[in-house]
Homo-oligomer: A and B are copies of this chain.
Amino acid sequence: MPSPKRQRKPAPRRQLTVPAILDAALKLVDNEGLDALTMRRLADELDASPMSLYRYIRTRDEIVEGLADLALEQLDIQPPADLTWQEQLRQIFTGIHDVLLAHPGLIHILEHQPVTAEHAFTAVERLLAILRKAGFSGSDAVATIAALESYTFGFTLQQRARAGTDQHDHLTRLQHLPPDQFPNTVELANEFGTWASETHFAHGLQRLLTGIQHDLSHSTTPVRAHVS
């Protein structure tokens, strides 16, 4: 005796939405890497057929783009304004580094399609503001951002690549190189155990900032500078 109102559908069947799809995709990419993001795997995760996703996104690449934006949302870049510009930059790029590490797949996304995401623009705007206020010329500010971004990006990439390898193997391999051809490498093999560590990141970032500051304070001020 079936009641007229009984509902036999397996569950209220949560609606598919773009955010739900992106959430599932980010989880997949963080846990298993960008390669694991297949339409079929993703659909499985959402208890749907691969084709149903195409109602919401046009192509797999569109999902990938969306992921970049999603992860960059976490970049809430507002260092205290009373810090020196060096310290503000240091905090911002350390924050970027942290987000990149937290989402292991993100870095492989950003390298293929340069950051056109909305949230990237707000970060750039804030960086420009800090640098202009510190006295950088417009073109110098842009060059400076490019340098800091390159360093942060490249470093995190090395860190990621390193994480995927057997560290012990690598060190013993270094130790057993022919000492006549590789005297320094063999002697310093142990030092490579800390290669691309967090300490290295902070140290290098600091050095880059030092160089930038040195450059700024020793260049002729743009105010009525004469070409000699």
Contacts and interface: CB of A to CB of B under 8 A. Distances in A.
A196 B148 CA distance: 11
Interface in A131-180: 132, 138-139, 141-143, 146-147, 149-155, 157-158, 160-162, 164-165, 170, 173-174, 177
Given A121-B182, A188-B128, A150 B158 contact: yes
A185 interface: yes
Given A146-B158, A158-B153, A204-B143, A138 B210 contact: no
A113 B151 CA distance: 19
Contacts of A153: 154, 157-158
Contact of A211 (B116, B192, B209): B209
Chain A contact residues: helix, strand, loop or mixed: helix
A185 B125 CA distance: 6
A115 to B, nearest CB: 8
A113 B164 contact: yes
Contact of A158 (B141, B149, B207, B208): B149
B184 A139 contact: no
A181 B124 CA distance: 12
Contact of A151 (B138, B151, B164): B151
A207 B162 contact: no
B211 A146 contact: no
A60 B158 CA distance: 22
10 contacts: A113-B165, A114-B158, A116-B170, A125-B183, A143-B203, A147-B200, A147-B204, A153-B158, A204-B208, A211-B211
Given A113-B165, A143-B204, 16 more contacts: A110-B161, A111-B111, A111-B161, A116-B165, A122-B181, A125-B181, A129-B184, A138-B187, A139-B188, A142-B194, A149-B158, A150-B154, A150-B196, A151-B208, A154-B155, A210-B210
